[in-house]
């Protein structure tokens, strides 16, 4: 896999091909697994880490469940390249900033990524466009089975898969959906959603930025409990709740349109206009405006732009991507100019 | 791992003992400062981890408890929030079970079971132990011992490979 060419492509999960992908940007499942005969990565010295990395790299080269994976030695990458993988959601920030020999196996479409020597020996992740958790589970389960056929995982009858942090013990599963909820944010009804989710033990966090106000109106909903419930049960909890949020968001959007179509049309058109003409723009403002344009397209208020390009811009306008596109290190001020240039070029080439 | 109070990355991992219950707290830098200054002010003893002297004594004892395989002391787990090896779930069982109950509301796995090895075997724990020994040998520059330990690891790895055919149900002695 050529990291330089990644700046010209985007992951399959951004293509908006999945069910309900106007609101559910992506579905994701990850499994935490460890090899039974090694200490966990944080307790492993360099030679053990190298041994684990070597072993699992060889394992992944066998195409688990028929999946071809490109193995990238993360510890051999420059900071900018590691950050780019973080921005594409292929590795975690922790994996980027960690130390010692480590890597990641990535499928061509970027639907599968398997981190080696993160907090656990293996962090397997499957991503899909739209609301498609069953597909994610089928695929990740098959990959997990294939690796497990050759390697002995750390497992106990009582506590399940044993992980470095007790918060992941048991199934080792994290099920999540990434939702675009501009309507609920606009009407401030998002807090009701938060409260309802907290009551059933689901975590909500903004995709970008910190705190309650998520940048770009993207929210990630995921399970916190991993022990005492089966994978299917944990998936079902999220599967049951997401359609309610989707229809809530749809209802709020329709209300916004019927109450003030002209005002909304004006707002999304202005956002589109700024993106197509700005000469310097911050990451925050970009997210904000892209969110408006995304809403505008989904409501039919903007008809000369497509969702996949907007989805791609959320990723490609982030710092590491911009610097990779420009082939140079850029400070914030210059990045803002580069970002505006890049957005103008991408949005206007479509006309 | 994320901070338990906001969504920033956690840098401080505390295991708190409250009414005999062990509780893991993960905090980011900001929340950690807040937490520490708050608990210091409220307890006045400068140590946020302790409720009273009786618990102090037992906690000190607990802190010394060490995994014979990976060598991690409970104190290290308490400060880092990460275990050293799979065997720690056995060594620190008494402390970890209430922690799991706290986090998950349950202590019994109900999900997927590997086809191959339902139990992490003694052989594998032994391997972790040898790897820890190897690390110490190298640190202390005892290279002859290191070579010997390395040979044992190779031997055991061979054995591990032979004793774990895909269909076997349980290879625990
Ligand atoms: Zn915090
Ligand atoms: Zn241990």
Q: Are B96 and B157 in contact (CB under 8 A)?
A: no
* One domain, residues A54 and A194: yes
Q: Which has the closest alpha carbon to A131: A298, A18, A17, A244?
A: A18
- Per-residue pLDDT reduced to its tens digit, A193-230: 999 998 999 998 887 654 455 688 999 999 999 999 99
Helices in A204-230 by DSSP H: which ranges? none
Per-residue confidence (pLDDT) for residue A251, from 0 to 100: 97
Judge whether A171 is closer than 8 Å to chain B, CB to CB.
yes
Q: Which has the closest alpha carbon to A104: A113, A93, A92, A94?
A: A113
- Look at the block and give the residue holding tokens 């903004």: A206
Q: B63, B83, B108: which is the final residue of a domain?
A: B108
A156·B127 Cβ contact <8 A? no
Judge whether A141 is closer than 8 Å to chain B, CB to CB.
yes
Burial class from Cβ neighbours inside 10 Å (0-12, 13-18, 19+) for residue A60 reads buried
Q: Which has the closest alpha carbon to A63: A146, A122, A160?
A: A146
* One domain, residues B131 and B156: yes
pLDDT mean over A284-312: 96
CB-closest option in A37, A165, A210 to B1: A165
Range of the domain at A286: 260-348
- Per-residue pLDDT reduced to its tens digit, B116-167: 655 546 677 778 888 888 888 888 888 888 888 888 888 877 776 665 544 4
Q: A195, A221, A248: which is the final residue of a domain?
A: A248
The alpha carbon of A70 is separated from its chain's Cα centroid by a whole number of angstroms, namely: 19
Establish if A254 belongs to a structural domain: no
A155·B108 Cβ contact <8 A? no
* One domain, residues B46 and B12: yes
Domains in chain A, number = 2
Judge whether B9 is closer than 8 Å to chain A, CB to CB.
yes
The DSSP letter of residue A170 is B
Per-residue confidence (pLDDT) for residue B15, from 0 to 100: 60
- Half-sphere exposure of residue B31: CA atoms within 13 angstroms, side-chain side: 18
Domains in chain B, number = 3
What average pLDDT does the structure give for chain A?
A: 94
What CATH number is given to the structural domain containing A90?
3.30.590.10
Establish if A217 belongs to a structural domain: yes
Q: SS3 for B44?
A: coil
Q: SS3 for A278?
A: coil
Element (H, E) at B13: strand B12-18
Per-residue confidence (pLDDT) for residue B27, from 0 to 100: 75
B17 has a pLDDT exceeding 60: no
Q: Are A163 and B129 in contact (CB under 8 A)?
A: no
Taking a contact as any Cβ pair under 8 Å apart, which residues of chain A between 209 and 228 contact chain B?
Answer: 210-211, 224-228
- Per-residue pLDDT reduced to its tens digit, B20-57: 455 667 777 777 767 665 544 443 343 444 444 556 66
- Half-sphere exposure of residue A172: CA atoms within 13 angstroms, side-chain side: 28
- Half-sphere exposure of residue A261: CA atoms within 13 angstroms, side-chain side: 6
Closest approach of A202 to chain B, Cα-based (Å): 12
* One domain, residues B84 and B44: no
Question: ipTM of this predicted complex?
Answer: 0.89
Q: SS3 for A116?
A: strand
- Per-residue pLDDT reduced to its tens digit, B2-14: 777 777 777 666 6
Establish if B169 belongs to a structural domain: no
* One domain, residues B32 and B57: no
Q: For residue A224, which residues of chain B lie inside 8 Å, CB to CB? A: 103
Establish if A61 belongs to a structural domain: yes
Which chain B residue shows the shortest CA-CA distance from A42?
B84
Q: Are B85 and A43 in contact (CB under 8 A)?
A: yes
pLDDT mean over A97-124: 96
Establish if A52 belongs to a structural domain: yes
- Per-residue pLDDT reduced to its tens digit, A122-155: 999 999 999 999 999 999 999 999 999 999 999 9
Q: A248, A278, A311: which is the final residue of a domain?
A: A248
B171 has a pLDDT exceeding 60: no
d(CA A166, CA A164): 7
Establish if A281 belongs to a structural domain: yes
Q: B88, B108, B128: which is the final residue of a domain?
A: B108
- Look at the block and give the residue holding tokens 């009582």: A158
* One domain, residues B12 and B22: yes
Q: Which has the closest alpha carbon to A253: A240, A268, A238?
A: A268
- Look at the block and give the residue holding tokens 């906690």: B59
How remote is the CA of residue A328 from the centroid of ligand 1, in Å? 33
- Per-residue pLDDT reduced to its tens digit, A238-266: 999 999 999 999 999 999 999 999 999 99
Q: Are B85 and A121 in contact (CB under 8 A)?
A: no
Q: A248, A276, A295: which is the final residue of a domain?
A: A248
Q: Are B114 and A153 in contact (CB under 8 A)?
A: yes
A230·B111 Cβ contact <8 A? yes
Judge whether A39 is closer than 8 Å to chain B, CB to CB.
yes
Range of the domain at B91: 52-108
């Amino acid at each position: 896999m050529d990291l330089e060419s990644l700046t010209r492509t985007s992951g399959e999960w951004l293509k908006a091909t999945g069910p309900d992908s106007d609101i559910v940007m992506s579905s994701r499942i990850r499994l935490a697994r460890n090899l039974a005969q090694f200490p966990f990565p944080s307790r492993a010295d360099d030679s053990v880490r190298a041994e684990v990395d070597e072993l699992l790299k060889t394992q992944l080269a066998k195409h688990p469940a028929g999946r071809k994976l490109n193995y990238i030695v993360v510890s051999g990458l420059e900071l900018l390249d590691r950050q780019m993988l973080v921005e594409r959601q292929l590795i975690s920030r922790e994996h980027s900033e960690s130390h010692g020999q480590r890597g990641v196996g990535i499928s061509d479409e970027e639907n599968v990524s398997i981190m080696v020597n993160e907090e656990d020996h293996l962090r397997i992740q499957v991503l899909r466009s739209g609301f498609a958790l069953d597909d994610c589970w089928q695929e990740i389960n098959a990959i997990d089975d294939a690796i497990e056929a050759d390697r002995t995982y750390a497992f106990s009858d009582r506590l399940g898969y044993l992980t470095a942090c007790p918060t992941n013990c048991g199934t080792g599963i994290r099920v999540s959906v990434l939702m675009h909820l501009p309507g609920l944010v606009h009407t401030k009804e998002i807090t009701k959603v938060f409260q309802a989710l907290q009551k059933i033990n689901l975590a909500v966090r903004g995709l970008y930025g910190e705190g309650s106000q998520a940048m770009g109106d993207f929210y990630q909903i995921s399970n916190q409990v991993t022990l005492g419930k089966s994978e299917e049960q944990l998936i079902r909890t999220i599967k049951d709740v997401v359609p309610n949020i989707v229809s809530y968001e749809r209802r709020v959007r329709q209300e916004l349109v019927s109450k003030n179509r002209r005002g909304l049309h004006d707002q999304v058109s202005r956002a589109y206009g700024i993106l197509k003409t700005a000469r310097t723009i911050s990451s925050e403002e970009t997210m904000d405006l892209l969110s408006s344009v995304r809403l505008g397209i989904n409501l039919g208020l903007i008809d000369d732009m497509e969702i996949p390009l907007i989805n791609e811009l959320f990723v490609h306008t982030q710092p590491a991507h911009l610097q990779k596109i420009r082939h140079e290190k850029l400070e914030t001020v210059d990045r803002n100019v580069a970002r505006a240039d890049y957005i103008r070029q991408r949005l206007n080439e479509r006309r | 791992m994320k901070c338990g109070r906001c969504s920033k990355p956690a840098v401080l991992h505390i295991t708190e003992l409250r009414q005999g219950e062990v509780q893991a707290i993960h905090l980011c830098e900001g929340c950690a400062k807040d937490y520490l200054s708050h608990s210091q002010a409220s307890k006045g003893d400068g140590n946020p981890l302790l409720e009273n002297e009786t618990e102090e004594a037992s906690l000190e004892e607990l802190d010394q408890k060490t995994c014979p395989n990976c060598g991690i002391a409970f104190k290290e787990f308490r400060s880092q929030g990460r275990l050293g090896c799979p065997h720690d779930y056995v060594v620190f069982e008494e402390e970890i079970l209430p922690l799991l109950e706290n986090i998950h509301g349950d202590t019994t796995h109900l999900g997927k079971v590997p086809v191959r090895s339902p139990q992490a075997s003694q052989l594998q724990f032994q391997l972790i132990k040898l790897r820890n020994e190897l690390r110490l040998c190298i640190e202390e520059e005892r290279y002859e011992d290191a070579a010997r330990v390395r040979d044992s690891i190779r031997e055991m790895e061979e054995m591990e490979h032979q004793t774990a055919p895909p269909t076997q149900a349980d290879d625990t002695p």
